[in-house]
Structure 1
Amino acid sequence: MATKCYGWAAGLASLGLVASQAFAQETVSPDTMDKDWTVLVGAGAFVGPEYLGSKDYAFQPAPIGTIQKGPFFVKLTGTTLTANVLPLETIYAGPLIGYGGGRKDVKDNVVKKLDEVDAELWLGGVVGAGYDGLMLQRDRIGARIEIAHDVMGDSGTTATFSAGYEINATERLAFGVDLSTTYVTADYADAYYSVSASGSAASGLSRYKADAGFRDISLNVSSRFAVTENWGVGGTAGASYLLGDMADSPIVEERGARTNAQGGLFLYYNF
């Protein structure tokens, strides 16, 4: 659920590049169908805005991991769990479940006076496709769509469209880039970027009603290095640029920033 609630979520989306052999990729060769189970676990420390559009940043630890057999996998990136249920080589699809902390306990004393955004439980699905060896023997291109609906709070529905490219520069070192954009429904826009009458009176910000639309466009780059056969390290960095009603909100224009950066480092172990 890339870039769902916090800025660093965009960086977490790039962690799918970690340990390409163990993470279920956008493409799966036929000879992986009969391989044994593979497991990867790891964790990272990330920094990003408290919410997209905030000028205040915070650190966030996050786990990563995957369990895979052939084309089938269950993958954890941060607080988002996805799975593939299709026995196909170039297309994957499956359920998605994720948790979002909402917008609470922010540092900005003005935004703090606005209506809080409750914690979120996101349920949905992911569909992706990819191709190995686009221009070089060790490169990969892929695209995916993630759709999720908040079944616990009032944050509506989001749809994230992304495309990525990765190249294995050597057997140990790889680089990747990911470009994404997220469309949000009116409920999501209202929860995070509107200013109600009571919120306006409490904060001094002008009343504002945000509507559905594309929330942002995000660009992230990542790298990973296999230190040993089992251990690896990596990093990710990127930026998100708010669009439309989200960018025009007084929460962003007067108290925040239209452009947010995020980044982090991670360590993983491949069994």
Structure 2
Amino acid sequence: MALRFASVVATTLLASTALASAADVSVPYDPAPAAPQPAAIDYGGDDFVFELGIKGVVDPEYLGSDEYRVLPGAIFSVEYLNLPGLGSFGGPDGLGFSIGPSFNVVGERKADDHSELQGLDDVDTTYEAGIKVSYEWQNAEIYGSARYAFGGAEGFVGDAGANLIARPTETVTLKLGPTVSFASKGYMEDYFSVSPAESIASGGRFSAYDAGGGVKSVGVAASARYEFTPDWFLNADASWDRLVGDAADSPIVEAGDKNQYSFTLGVSKRFSLDLF
């Protein structure tokens, strides 16, 4: 059987060689097509390129909750910024170092709206503002942000992460990677601590607890972005975060859920300005 198979292979190879020689055909090597590259954008003389849009958000009712709500949200990101004398951040292909603003809003937490929180103090809406820096390669990126929180909770909060990036076409970008978030003691106290007075007011359902600062959560985030027409984008994001450390040990979280999920879907448009 082995000799017969070898004979068939040899005959086939000889026949193929003979046919190629007779036809005098030369077949060049055809490598696999290269992966799509980020489309380079001609900014012309513009110094500031950014995106604005709207989105729908599905996230927990409050930090540590096991119930979810749907809210509207805004999309704002800086794609390119040129500052005379200081240099430029971002670029036409979206690769390299970039820096821009970072914002977040955490909705109010009212005990009257959630029977499981009876006895706890309300926390007003918290606003967070700061900066985000990132560095992107063709197939990966790293990023980090730091924000100051004020309003309902006060302190500092931030997050960091890394993503693998896939670009199946020039108009589609997919990202997936791990995330970690941090918060100062003041921020953690406002959301996760239980004072002795609150413990008594809750009828003992919540024991007194003093949360410290540090790592707040770890998780995974994924995003998909589609440029369906020039300068218009459809954006979808999903994340899973697990509260850890002092946040996870809070009686408030123990009565809810350490696992926190978020989903967003939105549309945005690129704008360009000539500032200088």
TM-score relative to the length of structure 2:
0.70
Give the equivalent residue in structure 1 for 2:260: 260
Alpha-carbon distance between aligned partners in 1 of 2:266 and 2:101, rounded to the nearest angstrom: 25
Partner of 1:109: 115
Question: For residues 1-271 of structure 1, what are the structure 2 equivalents within 5 Å?
Answer: 34-36=44-46, 38=49, 40-66=51-77, 70-72=80-82, 87-88=88-89, 90-94=96-100, 96=102, 98-104=104-110, 107-131=113-137, 133=138, 139=139, 141-203=140-202, 204-253=205-254, 255-270=255-270
Measured in 1, the distance between the counterparts of 2:206 and 2:230 equals 55
Asked if the contact 2:162–2:179 (Cα under 8 Å) also holds between the matched residues in 1, the reply is: yes
Measured at CA, do residues 173 and 154 of structure 1 come closer, stay the same or move farther in structure 2, by a change above 3 Å?
Answer: closer
Structure 1, unpaired ranges of 5+: 1-19, 22-28, 74-84, 134-138
Q: Secondary structure at the match of 2:187?
A: helix
What is the rounded CA distance, in whole Å, between the counterparts of 2:234 and 2:144 in structure 1? 27
Aligned partners of 2:78 and 2:100 also within 8 Å: no
Question: Match for residue 11 of structure 1?
Answer: none
Counterpart of 1:262, as a letter, is S
Figure out how many residues of one structure are paired with residues of the other and give that number: 224
Structure 1 50/86 Cα, relative in aligned 2: closer, same or farther at 3 Å? farther
Q: Structure 1 residues 97 and 227 mapped into 2: Cα distance closer, same or farther (>3 Å)?
A: closer
CA deviations over 1:187-208 (Å, ceiling 9, x no partner): 1111111111121112231111
Q: Please state whether the residue corresponding to 1:147 is helix, strand or coil.
A: strand
Tell me the secondary structure at the aligned position of residue 113 of structure 1. coil
5+ unaligned residues in a row in structure 2: which ranges? 1-37, 91-95, 272-276
Question: 1:257 is paired with a residue of what secondary structure?
Answer: coil
Residues in 2 aligned to 1:212 and 1:71: alpha-carbon distance in whole angstroms: 34
State the Cα distance separating 1:143 from its structure 2 match.
Answer: 1.6
Q: Percent identity?
A: 26
Cα distance in 1, alignment partners of residues 186 and 123 from structure 2: 11
Larger Rg: 2
Contact persistence 1:194–1:249 (CA under 8 A): yes
Q: Counterpart of 1:13? A: none
SS at match of 1:188: helix
2: CA distance, partners of 1:262 / 1:121: 18
Summarize deviations over 1:203-260 as a string: whole Å, max 9, x none: 231111111121101211111223233443232222110101111111111x200112
Instruction: Output the amino acid matched with 1:206.
Output: S
